[in-house]
């Protein structure tokens, strides 16, 4: 006997019972119920039900709706077991799911407990400085069906997401990791997700309905990693998936929010860096320093953070903005350069930070590649504004950006829109200051944009506008540039090609 809430179903006798009493059910309605039961909680399309229940005849869809209504009436308070997936079909929710909703979730058997279906790779390196972030991400996943970890390239979105997924494995029937960074064309996104879910075994044309059916109503966590280059498709697929299955949770990583319904955004912060005047103990307590030192040990086992080098390590971490990828690339250079020389070479960071692991994705093998990956997704206007605001060192306000970046080709509205785009794509950091917002570029992003400014041939005119604005309005940044330092920096950017 199969239980649907309070109603028992006997497939052999083709009969429904409520408290032992038979309920009257028509043949077609029973056929439909049988199709849904046999689908095991998966979605069944309307076409499929019509084909199976009325094999010889072509009938109107309204017939199906009438029988579904009859079945729901019979189920009474348990009518919610039959779910309509708008535009696609129906599914009969697993008893497990419904019991869970009414607070009587059946406990998992020992076998289910010990055999979660997960393809999340094990973590070989400890995740440093992410205790709070991990707690925040888990809370977000508890509260929303779709959580996106957003942040600059190399800030640690993937590692944080993987760690969160690993720590939640026991709560899900299935946990699936899908890497989207290798998807070359947006139209391949759906297939890539289907393949990822099916462990590479998915073949042929895939639709969202197929995915919904494949996932069924199992309690599933899917991690979609690196979505920024196929963001439109991912947003649409995620919306449809979470809408169809209340037991599904999606954890996405992207340099830009998906802007999908149900989405909760978690902005991944950089690792903590010491202030310029921090004492030795405070420097060593910072997570960026911890990460740099532990990575440097891998490449140079004799490496020690002794009295003199501790301050230099603090400088490296601060000037690399606490970005794990940059710290990792810098640590790989310690063995060859030593710590003092590494600091000296930070002005040419794109020439020096090039030695990522051969096996890392191409966008993470050099510091420049990490920024190139983001830069290619900017529109023309955003690129232009990014280049021009590179003259600001430290925080600045929107009006300063508008004054300095507005040459004949861009008006204040264009610049405001571009600033919003750069913030969204994690290339420009923001922080409220009173009623205003302040913006600043990571030093690495700024060095990259400054180089682009020089290459564009606009550096002279933009520096002149910056000087003019500064002389008429006073200091525009926390750490305003002098013209001399700006010229130094633009010529350094030229050398750092």
With CB under 5 to 8 Å by kind, the binding choice for 363 among Mg ion, ligand ATP, none is: ligand ATP
Minimum gap (Å) between residue 418 Cβ and ligand ATP: 21
Of 235, 231, 234, 225, the C-alpha closest to 261 is: 235
CA Rg, the chain, in Å? 28
Which CB, 159 or 477, lies closer to ligand ATP? 159
CB nearer Mg ion, residue 226 or residue 310: 226
194: number of Cβ within 10 Å = 21
Positions that interact with ligand ATP (CB under 6 A): 125, 127-130, 151, 153-159, 226, 253, 255, 291, 324-325, 328, 363-364, 370
Tell me the C-alpha distance between 277 and 311, whole Å: 9
Residue nearest to ligand ATP (CB): 156
In DSSP terms, which residues pair with 4 in a beta bridge?
A: 7
325, interface contact from Mg ion, ligand ATP, none, CB < 5-8 Å by kind: ligand ATP
Nearer of residues 71 and 180 to Mg ion, judged by Cβ: 180
391 makes contact, choosing from ligand ATP, Mg ion, none, with CB < 5 to 8 Å by partner type, with: none
Between 127 and 166, how does the x/- string for binding to Mg ion read (CB under 5 A)?
Answer: ------------------------------xx--------
Q: Which is nearer to ligand ATP, 325 or 453 (CB)?
A: 325
- Alpha-carbon distances of 228 from 133, 231, 234, 243, 455, rounded to whole Å: 21, 5, 9, 22, 27
What long-range pairs does 367-371 form, CB within 8 A, spacing at least 24?
367/325, 367/326, 367/329, 367/444, 368/448, 370/153, 370/154, 370/325, 370/326, 371/153, 371/444, 371/445, 371/448
Which is nearer to Mg ion, 157 or 425 (by Cβ)? Answer: 157
For Mg ion, which is the closer residue by CB, 158 or 451? Answer: 158
Shortest Å, Cβ 158 to ligand ATP: 3
Look-up of token digits 């497939």: 11
- Residue 155 binding: pick among Mg ion, ligand ATP, none (C-beta 5-8 Å cut-off by kind): ligand ATP
Helices assigned H by DSSP within 24-94: 27-38, 46-53, 61-75
Nearby residues of 287 by Cβ (< 8 Å), 6 or more positions away: 128, 129, 130, 271, 272, 322
Q: What is the C-alpha separation between 275 and 282, in angstroms, rounded?
A: 9
For residue 57, give both structure tokens.
């005849």
Report DSSP state, residue 488.
H
Number of residues assigned to the chain: 497
Which distant-in-sequence residues (6+ apart) come within 8 Å of 431 by Cβ? 395, 437, 438, 440
247 near Mg ion, rule: CB under 5 A: no
Residue with nearest beta carbon to Mg ion: 158
Whether the CB-CB separation of 247 and 217 falls below 8 Å is answered with yes
Q: What, of Mg ion, ligand ATP, none, does residue 128 touch, CB below 5 to 8 Å by kind?
A: ligand ATP
| Binding range to Mg ion, per CB under 5 A, among 84-92, 220-228, 272-280, 285-293 | 220-228
Least CB distance to ligand ATP at residue 236 (A): 21
Q: How far does the chain reach from its first CA to its final CA, in angstroms?
A: 73
The least distance separating ligand ATP from the CB of residue 290, rounded to whole angstroms, comes to 8
**For Mg ion, what does the binding mask look like between residues 256 and 295, x meaning CB under 5 A?**
----------------------------------------
At residue 431, the 3 state secondary structure works out as: strand
Which of Mg ion, ligand ATP, none is residue 291 near (CB under 5 to 8 Å by kind)? ligand ATP
Size of the site for Mg ion (CB under 5 A): 3
Q: Which residues bind Mg ion (CB under 5 A)?
A: 157-158, 226
């Amino acid at each position: 006997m199969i239980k649907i809430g309070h109603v028992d179903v006997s497939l052999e006798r083709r009969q429904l019972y409520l408290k032992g009493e038979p309920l009257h059910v028509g043949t077609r309605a029973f056929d439909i119920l049988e199709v849904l039961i046999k689908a095991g909680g998966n979605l069944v399309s309307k076409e499929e039900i019509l084909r199976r229940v009325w094999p010889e005849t072509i009938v109107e869809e309204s017939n199906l709706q009438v029988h579904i209504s009859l079945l729901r009436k019979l189920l009474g308070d348990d009518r919610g077991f039959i779910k309509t997936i708008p535009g696609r079909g129906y599914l009969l929710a697993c008893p497990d799911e419904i019991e869970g909703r009414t607070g009587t979730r059946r406990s998992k058997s020992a076998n289910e407990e010990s055999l979660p279906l997960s393809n999340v790779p094990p973590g070989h390196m400890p995740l440093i400085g992410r205790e709070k972030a991990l707690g925040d991400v888990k809370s977000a996943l508890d509260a929303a069906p779709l959580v996106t970890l957003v942040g600059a390239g190399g800030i640690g979105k993937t590692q944080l997401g993987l760690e969160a997924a690993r720590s939640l494995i026991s709560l899900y029937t299935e946990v699936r990791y899908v890497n989207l960074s290798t998807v070359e064309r947006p139209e391949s996104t759906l297939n890539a997700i289907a393949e990822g879910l099916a462990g590479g075994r998915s073949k042929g044309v895939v639709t969202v309905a197929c995915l919904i059916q494949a996932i069924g109503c199992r309690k599933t966590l899917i991690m979609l990693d690196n979505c920024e280059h196929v963001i439109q498709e991912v947003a649409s697929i995620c919306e449809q998936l979470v809408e169809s299955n209340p037991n599904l949770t999606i954890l996405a990583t992207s340099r830009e929010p998906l802007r999908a319904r149900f989405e909760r955004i978690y902005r991944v912060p950089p690792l903590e860096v010491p202030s310029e005047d921090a004492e030795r103990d405070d420097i060593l307590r910072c997570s960026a320093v911890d990460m740099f030192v532990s990575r440097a040990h891998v490449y140079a086992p004799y490496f020690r953070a002794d009295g003199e080098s501790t301050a230099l390590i603090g400088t490296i971490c601060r000037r690399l903005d606490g970005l794990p990828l940059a710290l990792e690339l810098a640590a790989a250079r310690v063995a060859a350069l030593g710590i003092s020389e590494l600091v000296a070479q930070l002005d040419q960071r794109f020439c020096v930070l090039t030695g990522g692991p051969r096996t890392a994705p191409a966008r993470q093998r050099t510091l420049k590649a990490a920024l190139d990956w983001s830069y290619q997704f900017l529109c023309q206007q955003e690129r232009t504004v990014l280049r021009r605001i590179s003259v600001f060192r430290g925080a600045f306000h929107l009006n300063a950006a508008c004054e300095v970046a507005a040459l004949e080709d861009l008006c204040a509205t264009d610049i405001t829109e571009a600033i919003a785009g750069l913030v969204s794509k994690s290339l420009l950091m923001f922080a409220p200051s009173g009623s205003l917002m302040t913006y600043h570029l990571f030093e690495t992003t700024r060095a990259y944009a400054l180089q682009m400014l020089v290459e564009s041939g606009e550096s002279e005119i933009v520096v002149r506008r910056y000087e003019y604005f500064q002389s008429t309005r006073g200091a525009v940044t926390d750490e305003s540039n002098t013209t001399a330092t700006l010229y130094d920096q633009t010529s350094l950017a030229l050398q750092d090609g």
